[in-house]
Amino acid sequence: MIAPENLLDHVRQSAPHDAADALEAAVDAEAAAVLQELNPMVAQQVLHQMTDERRCAILAAAPIEKAQQWMQNTGYPEDSVGWLMEPPVAVFRPSMTVRETIEALRKLTKKAFITYGYVTDDSNKLLGVLVMRDLMLGEPEKPLAEVMYPNVFSLAPAMPLTEAMKEAVNRHYPVYPVCDAQGRLLGLVRGQTLFEARAIEISAQAGTMVGVEKEERLSTPVSRSLRFRHPWLQINLATCFVAAAVVAAFQDTLDRVVLLAAFLPVLAGQSGNTGCQALAVTLRGVTLGDLKPGDERSLVIKEGLLGLMNGMLVGITAALGMIVYARIAGNPNGTSLALVVWLSMVVSCVTSGVCGALIPLTLRKFGADPATASSIFLTTATDVVSMGVFLGLASLLV
């Protein structure tokens, strides 16, 4: 059992399922207090890992405002604005005076951290926002309708975090109201919370590209890490067999021109790097929302064109290397082998660039995480194409 004074640090450093296990043995009030200190998205994830009975007990021990927030947010997707909402506290009517509002704020600030006040009508439709400076300098008897800012920027609860971050990045507001389609105030989301949540998702991409799950942390037990990683390694092994089969199909060519074997890793490495560049740019565009619907074709064409130009340039260097190597080895077919290397490099880099863009787009189209094990599939495609084209051309031209 973890000591109460160490519980918060342990939970912060743990994956959601590990944090839920740690809170199972804690007193309800202690568990609720720990969850209040976490990023709202992380707190939601931890609660979802618990049994219904344990979750209800912790919600009952939490402050009413927090419990309502946690229960309200469960109806929204995990990567949405609604998932991060806090309940609105400083909500007033437009007929209230500045004096009445300030008196109300004196009481409210004892229970919650308030950045802005919000003015709504009887149906809770958001009419304006109150900035504290203007409120404090306003005439005491002036109604809020004359003090508030009527043009309010708000977020929708179902809006994905990526889209919300893009909308908020140039505004730099500390807090954003969240409204439904009718303009009714549902809650608030803090800018810091919004960007922290998105940073968590982005930081997980490096692992998911090679089959490491987002939930895995340094503190994850070995057995659980093994279950996360091993299936992807089996898939990777199967794809390696495919590449090995391609090489085996040209065994006679390799036996006849042994120096071809020295350039197989050169082609595989160069085409793999080209594909990884395209993959990184595509994932960045998907993550940050830069890739708009209908732009997929242009992206694939661009990456294919970049692969063509890069392949032609690096192919020249590789071809010169083949000529030098052939002369050192005493092979009279240096020029033909150099042409094979150049053509293979061009085809491989074009294919790698196209695949680097297509693989995450295809995964997204079928509802999968675009970053999930993308590099495993990309490596297979680049290895099979680069080795197959290289050995195939060598069989025909040499």
**CATH architecture entry for 235-397:** Orthogonal Bundle (1.10)
Q: What's the maximum distance between 2 C-alpha atoms anywhere in the chain? A: 98
- What is the pLDDT averaged over residues 100-104? 89
Task: Please tell me which of 42-56, 58-72, 272-286, 350-364 the model is most confident about, judged by mean pLDDT.
Answer: 350-364
- What is the pLDDT averaged over residues 6-22? 75
Query: What percentage of the chain reaches a pLDDT higher than 90?
Result: 16
Model confidence at 300: pLDDT above 60: yes
Task: Please tell me which of 268-272, 351-355, 364-368 the model is most confident about, judged by mean pLDDT.
Answer: 351-355
For domain 91-188, the CATH class is alpha beta
- What is the pLDDT averaged over residues 269-273? 84
Residues 224 and 49: their CA atoms lie apart, in Å, by 15
- Per DSSP (E only), the strands in 121-238 are 126-131, 175-179, 185-190
How high is the pLDDT of residue 213? 46
How high is the pLDDT of residue 69? 63
- What is the pLDDT averaged over residues 207-233? 61
- What is the pLDDT averaged over residues 175-184? 90
Residues 131 and 154: their CA atoms lie apart, in Å, by 15
- The size of the chain, in residues, is 398
How high is the pLDDT of residue 308? 94
pLDDT band (50, 70, 90) for residue 201: low
pLDDT (tens digit, 9 = 90+) per residue, 44-101? Answer: 667 767 776 787 788 778 877 676 666 655 567 767 888 788 777 788 889 899 999 9
How high is the pLDDT of residue 11? 77
Question: In the chain, where are the structural domains located?
Answer: 4-74, 91-188, 235-397
How high is the pLDDT of residue 154? 92
Model confidence at 111: pLDDT above 90: no
pLDDT band (50, 70, 90) for residue 162: confident
Model confidence at 203: pLDDT above 50: no
Residues 142 and 60: their CA atoms lie apart, in Å, by 41
How high is the pLDDT of residue 312? 93
Model confidence at 128: pLDDT above 90: yes
Q: Is the dihedral of CA 50, 55, 57, 59 positive or negative?
A: positive
- What is the pLDDT averaged over residues 295-311? 91
Helix (H, G, I), strand (E, B) or coil at 92: strand
pLDDT band (50, 70, 90) for residue 106: confident
Model confidence at 376: pLDDT above 80: no
> What contacts 16, CB < 8 A, 6 or more positions away?
42, 45, 46, 48, 49, 215
Alpha carbons within 13 angstroms on the beta-carbon side of residue 103 total 7
Alpha carbons within 13 angstroms on the beta-carbon side of residue 269 total 7
Q: Which amino acid is at 25?
A: A
Average pLDDT, the chain: 80
> What contacts 219, CB < 8 A, 6 or more positions away?
10, 13, 14, 15, 18
